[in-house]
Structure 1
Amino acid sequence: MHPKKEPTRPVPAGPRPTGPRLLLPGAALLATAALVTGCSSGGSSSSPAASSSASASASATPSAAAAPGANQLQNDYQRVISEVLPSVVQITTGTGLGSGIVYDDKGHIVTNAHVVGTAKTFTVTLANSSKTLDATLVASYPESDLAVIKLGSPPSGLKPAVFGDSGKVELGQITLAMGSPLGLSSSVTQGIVSATGRTVSEPKGGDSPGATIGNMVQTSAAINPGNSGGALVNLASQVIGINTLAATDPDSNGGAAPGIGFAIPAATITSIADQLIKDGKVTNSGRAALGITARTAFNADFQPIGVVVSAVTDGGPAAAAGLQAGDVITKLGDTPITTMNSLTTALASLQPGAKVPVTYQRDGKATTTDVTLGTLPTG
């Protein structure tokens, strides 16, 4: 459950994509913190530095007028933290730790599937508390990297989080990321919504399901190992996402790329969590599908050239549009398709019911047909 270092890229389909590599900040095995103090000194009034200091003081005067606004923003931060942080917990397994969000007053807690991994039992620590509580797995849905666990004896006063409307998340909104980075429980970082609608593929291996997730929220709030499963919050004290991924800098040997993190949106969280709690499984994935079995196709030089259809689901979207076994899909909408991963990524950005042009090769001839996407089966 240590954060995975192997590279992957959250990019559109293509043979050689570009973009940040990712790590799953799901668990931290050891927490360390270094405290650094700084000092400053000023020059005498007879030195040139004194003039610079005087100029700096004069130029700072307008900032003093802005102080009431700054104080209000600080008050907003503190209000949100006091309202939401009690709903964010630390989850510990036998191999590491991550974060979670109190979902209801019955003791259900939502987190990432890669945080729980293969574990069935957990210890949970509430915010600002040293007492540990026992919890068990309700169900996990690795395809969307979400899971629900439940406290064995929920304490009185348990405070569920309030989830916001994903459709109202906008660029530039201030965000606070809450969780247990590096095991430092009840930690908060701040940033903004940097982008919406991102489709991201996770690293695969260990406890990571390697899921491809659509419609993610990108944020500049710092997300570090141990933050996964924690809350991304707006200034209305609403959870707008669950912290899941952080980008890595390819030039720093896998080190984190500051200010590039990703969160699963609230709408996906509530849809999947409600199903896991009610049925113990996901019955409606909410993910688009073509209704085919397929694999990556290669040319004579062993270069990927598309996705060859092995079979079509009877009565499914592809069958209804006339696709057949042996067809090689090369484009979905405007997105080139060269591999199964590129097809999965493209579909993750779309919704069931959408009508999308699909370009394919049959007997050496390119054909385009409109396919009304179905829903990915949940098995």
Structure 2
Amino acid sequence: MTDYETRPIMPPPAPYGEQPPPRRGRGPITASVLVGALVLGGGAGVAGAAAWQEWGGDGSATNGGTGSSASIPVADTGDSPAPAGSVEQVAAEVLPSVVKINVVGEEQGQPASGSGSGIILSEDGTILTNNHVVELAEGGGEISVSFENGDEAAAEILGADPLTDTAVIRAEDVSGLTEATIGKSGNLDIGQSVVAVGAPFGLDSTVTSGIVSALDRPVSVGTDAEGQSTTYPAIQTDAAINPGNSGGPLVDMSGAVVGINSSIRTTGESTGQGGSIGLGFAIPMDEVMPVVEQMLAGDTPTHARLGISVSDVEQQAGELPSEGAQVQEVTPGSTADDAGLERGDVITRIDDTLITGADSLVATIRSYRPGDEVTLTYRRGGDEERTTLVLDSDAS
């Protein structure tokens, strides 16, 4: 039994924009529409220039038809060095460590393609990205990586972990790449300035900025064939994140990577890929780096577990909503079973973290490692109880 909510996961009324397979094939369509718009704009510009040459003769500016020429002064303010800690300075430092990832493969027996972003971890081509960016290439697809200087290289998957939506790939026959600086997401504060870098809609080397809007936001973006959910305690930001930003870095103002941009919230009003509405989510680096290190070592990633299935708290008619995660089933022999948890118990805290629902519990447990000791607070029959337990591992 794995740690996931037992109630069916229905598509949320405002779905996350950058999700695994169902949306993956739409990226090229959106990008082609965007390119069409750019071409149309360019065509209009050319037509305007042709008309000006036809009407204006030699192209000199005229004033009211009097024939007198006019000159518009241009101020040359110079290219000043970027101030330390500015978005400009951070962008200059981080851009060489960010790549665009293109993937082709098959989906439901049909050719499909997509694109995303990645973070360079080593000078010889090890790159961190989202699992949902590259999973299309599993089983015979192809991956190519475009670097900030315009170079390209083929790449292969070294490891992937759907539960944390992370993957590590390696670009072939490259060297001397600029490694990203990995920071501590635990140092972030709400309201702190951050910068997102990636290739939204295929537009590589795109930089946006904003603030940390919230921390430890439970974000669930789907389940696998075994019912295990991809849920994590996200960094929420209003920095513009769009389809194609997935796998790229969210960095603090020192240029250190504190998160992996992974999903967005949309209004649900469009049938196509949604755009940024200021609700973007990044996987925090502190929680995911142990899994990344396992993949780099060639190991199968492991995750902490309680050994229960849970749901949001069942509400009785006429009662106000109640926060917590309600136990639906306890796996015999699990750490939760040994601690005496029972069906119907409502878990309200893990250590000092408030548990608001099923996703909140799963996201919080995912932030720990197997073998960690935690204090669990729960309600049973109106009484509040506490127990300390050591988290299990999902290793087979």
Match of 1:99 among 104, 117, 122: 117
One-letter amino acid matched to 1:332: T
Q: Residues 172 and 248 from structure 1, CA distance in 2 versus in 1: closer, same or farther, beyond 3 angstroms?
A: same
Q: Does the 8 Å contact 1:24/1:203 carry over to 2?
A: no
Identity %: 32
Count of equivalent residues: 317
Q: In the TM superposition, what are the counterparts of 1:117-266 in structure 2 within 5 Å?
A: 117-120=135-138, 121-129=142-150, 131-153=151-173, 155-203=174-222, 210-214=229-233, 216-250=234-268, 255-256=274-275, 258-266=277-285
Whether 1:116 and 2:137 are equivalent positions in the alignment is: no
Q: Residues 359 and 312 from structure 1, CA distance in 2 versus in 1: closer, same or farther, beyond 3 angstroms?
A: farther
One-letter amino acid matched to 1:354: V
Q: TM-score, normalised by structure 1?
A: 0.71
The root-mean-square deviation of aligned C-alpha atoms, in Å, is: 3.8
SS in 2 for 1:149: strand
Looking at structure 2, the residues matched to 344 and 105 of structure 1 have their Cα atoms a distance apart, in angstroms, of 35
Looking at structure 1, the residues matched to 284 and 266 of structure 2 have their Cα atoms a distance apart, in angstroms, of 21
Q: Residues 78 and 159 from structure 1, CA distance in 2 versus in 1: closer, same or farther, beyond 3 angstroms?
A: same
Match of 2:346 among 310, 314, 330: 330
Q: Does the 8 Å contact 1:8/1:203 carry over to 2?
A: no
SS in 1 for 2:116: strand
What do the CA deviations read for 1:76-101 (whole angstroms, capped 9, x no partner)?
32222121101100111112111100
One-letter amino acid matched to 2:94: V
1:86 match? 96
Looking at structure 2, the residues matched to 344 and 75 of structure 1 have their Cα atoms a distance apart, in angstroms, of 36
Q: TM-score, normalised by structure 2?
A: 0.68
What do the CA deviations read for 1:102-131 (whole angstroms, capped 9, x no partner)?
0112311000111112424411111130x3
One-letter amino acid matched to 2:143: F
Q: Can you give the 5+ residue segments of structure 1 that lack an aligned partner in the other structure?
A: 1-5, 10-19, 38-66
Q: Does the 8 Å contact 1:359/1:367 carry over to 2?
A: yes
Q: Does the 8 Å contact 1:7/1:21 carry over to 2?
A: yes
Cα deviation for residue 156 of structure 1 reads 2.8
Q: Does the 8 Å contact 1:330/1:336 carry over to 2?
A: no
Cα deviation for residue 243 of structure 1 reads 0.5
Q: Residues 312 and 332 from structure 1, CA distance in 2 versus in 1: closer, same or farther, beyond 3 angstroms?
A: farther
Cα deviation for residue 279 of structure 1 reads 2.8
Q: Does the 8 Å contact 1:23/1:203 carry over to 2?
A: no
Q: Residues 21 and 96 from structure 1, CA distance in 2 versus in 1: closer, same or farther, beyond 3 angstroms?
A: closer
Q: Does the 8 Å contact 2:196/2:208 carry over to 1?
A: yes
Match of 1:290 among 300, 306, 310: 306
Cα deviation for residue 268 of structure 1 reads 2.6
Looking at structure 2, the residues matched to 279 and 23 of structure 1 have their Cα atoms a distance apart, in angstroms, of 31
What do the CA deviations read for 1:334-376 (whole angstroms, capped 9, x no partner)?
6465xx6565356457774220123357xxx978452425144
One-letter amino acid matched to 2:144: T
1:76 match? 86
SS in 2 for 1:96: strand
Looking at structure 2, the residues matched to 179 and 79 of structure 1 have their Cα atoms a distance apart, in angstroms, of 16
Whether 1:8 and 2:12 are equivalent positions in the alignment is: yes
Q: Does the 8 Å contact 1:249/1:257 carry over to 2?
A: no
Structure number with larger C-alpha Rg: 2
Q: In the TM superposition, what are the counterparts of 1:274-313 in structure 2 within 5 Å?
A: 274-283=293-302, 285=303, 287=304, 289-292=305-308, 306-313=326-333
One-letter amino acid matched to 1:149: I
Cα deviation for residue 186 of structure 1 reads 0.9
1:29 match? 28
Q: Does the 8 Å contact 2:195/2:239 carry over to 1?
A: yes
2:4 match? none
Looking at structure 2, the residues matched to 281 and 149 of structure 1 have their Cα atoms a distance apart, in angstroms, of 15
One-letter amino acid matched to 1:29: P
One-letter amino acid matched to 1:23: G
Looking at structure 2, the residues matched to 377 and 280 of structure 1 have their Cα atoms a distance apart, in angstroms, of 14
Q: Residues 248 and 205 from structure 1, CA distance in 2 versus in 1: closer, same or farther, beyond 3 angstroms?
A: farther
Cα deviation for residue 132 of structure 1 reads 2.3
